[in-house]
């Protein structure tokens, strides 16, 4: 009997995996988180259950990307190891469009994903051409096959949230961005990037950072309780959005 010739199976080509980015535009993500709310309201549950509400059998692959997308926009929040529909998601789903808080909540959700926030920082005045965006994303290591969908979702999200609509920023009631500052001791104007910090059980930890302006004003940042590096990333995005609104307000008054 002649020896059989075994033809080796060629190795599979390694896939080009892009850095993390939202799998859907914000409008689609809101439709998906509504499915979660319709089933469980805001009760904490497992990611496996949430994936099932979204129509997925597993929490990896497409299901995992969907779950990650909802978390990137801040539409899901963790609660004691489980996950639930966030306060932001609930308000975006049910606040009327004329509510004064909704425009700002939309902008915050749109700029919460790291990639979208970085692109907005790169192009603060307007979204450039697709060719320019593709060049930017390729330098960031994204798979060329994903760029068309990614750019379309980015444009759709920025448009729905009116991130580049200057007049929309001017119409936002700035009082919703402000809380009365607690008395603070003068400290360095440089705010450190803190590592995960746990508050003691007997009393919340409070740290204040104060920056004196050239005139009589000053800015005060107070951190209370426990926080993580993810919380500080969210705070950084929140401050960046607030500063954009304040700058536009100053420009408007100086005209």
Q: What is the pLDDT of residues 48-60, one digit of tens each?
A: 999 999 999 999 8
Those residues whose C-beta lies under 8 Å from the C-beta of residue 24, and which sit 6 or more positions away, are 32, 66, 69, 153
Mean pLDDT, residues 73-95 taken together = 94
**What is the rounded CA–CA span in Å between residue 202 and residue 205?**
10
Residue 235: its pLDDT value, please?
Answer: 72
Whole-model pTM?
Answer: 0.61
Residue 155, CB half-sphere, CA atoms under 13 Å: how many? 12
Query: At 207, phi and psi to the nearest 5?
Result: -125, 135
The residue whose two tokens read 């306060």 is 87
**What is the rounded CA–CA span in Å between residue 224 and residue 199?**
9
- In three-state form (DSSP H/G/I as H, E/B as E, the rest C), the secondary structure along 84-116 is EECHHHHHHHHCCCCCCCHHHHHHHHHCCCHHH
**What is the rounded CA–CA span in Å between residue 71 and residue 62?**
14
More confident residue, 214 or 126: 126
Following DSSP, what letter does each residue of 50-78 receive, concatenated?
HHHHTT-S-SSHHHHHHHHHHHHTT-EEE
Residue 70 predicted with pLDDT over 60: yes
Residue 236: its pLDDT value, please?
Answer: 72
Q: Residue 238 is encoded by which pair of tokens?
A: 């929140």
Residue 16: its pLDDT value, please?
Answer: 54
More confident residue, 253 or 164: 164
Those residues whose C-beta lies under 8 Å from the C-beta of residue 9, and which sit 6 or more positions away, are none
Of 47-51, 64-68, 109-113, 161-165, the one with minimum mean pLDDT is 161-165
For the stretch 6-48, pLDDT in tens is 566 555 555 556 778 999 999 999 999 999 999 999 999 999 9
Residue 5: its pLDDT value, please?
Answer: 58
Q: Where are the alpha helices (DSSP H) in the chain?
A: 26-40, 47-53, 61-72, 87-94, 102-110, 114-122, 130-139, 147-160, 166-171, 229-254
Residue 203: its pLDDT value, please?
Answer: 46
**What is the rounded CA–CA span in Å between residue 69 and residue 56?**
14
**What is the rounded CA–CA span in Å between residue 147 and residue 139?**
12
Residue 85 predicted with pLDDT over 60: yes
Q: Sorting pLDDT into bands at 50, 70 and 90, what band is 151?
A: very high
């Amino acid at each position: 009997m002649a020896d059989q010739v075994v033809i080796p199976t060629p190795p599979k080509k390694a896939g080009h995996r892009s850095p993390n980015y939202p799998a859907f535009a914000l409008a689609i993500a809101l439709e998906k988180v509504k499915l979660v709310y319709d089933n469980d309201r805001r009760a904490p549950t497992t990611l496996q259950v949430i994936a099932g509400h979204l129509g997925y059998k597993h929490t990896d692959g497409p299901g995992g990307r969907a779950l990650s997308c909802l978390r990137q926009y801040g539409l899901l929040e963790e609660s004691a190891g489980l996950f639930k529909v966030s306060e932001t998601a609930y308000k975006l789903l049910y606040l009327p469009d004329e509510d004064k808080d909704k425009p700002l909540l939309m902008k915050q959700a749109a700029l919460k994903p790291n990639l979208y926030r970085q692109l907005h920082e790169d192009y603060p005045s307007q979204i450039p051409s697709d060719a320019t965006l593709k060049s930017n994303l390729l330098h960031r290591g994204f798979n060329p096959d994903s760029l068309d969908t990614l750019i379309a979702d980015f444009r759709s999200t920025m448009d729905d949230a009116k991130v580049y609509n200057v007049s929309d920023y001017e119409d936002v009631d700035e009082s919703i961005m402000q809380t009365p500052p607690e008395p603070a001791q003068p400290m360095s104007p440089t705010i450190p990037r803190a590592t995960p910090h746990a508050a003691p059980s007997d009393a919340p930890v409070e740290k204040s950072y104060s920056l004196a302006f050239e005139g009589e004003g000053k800015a005060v940042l107070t951190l209370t309780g426990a926080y993580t590096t993810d919380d500080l990333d969210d705070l950084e995005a929140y401050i960046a959005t607030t500063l954009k609104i304040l700058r536009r307000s100053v420009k408007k008054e100086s005209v």
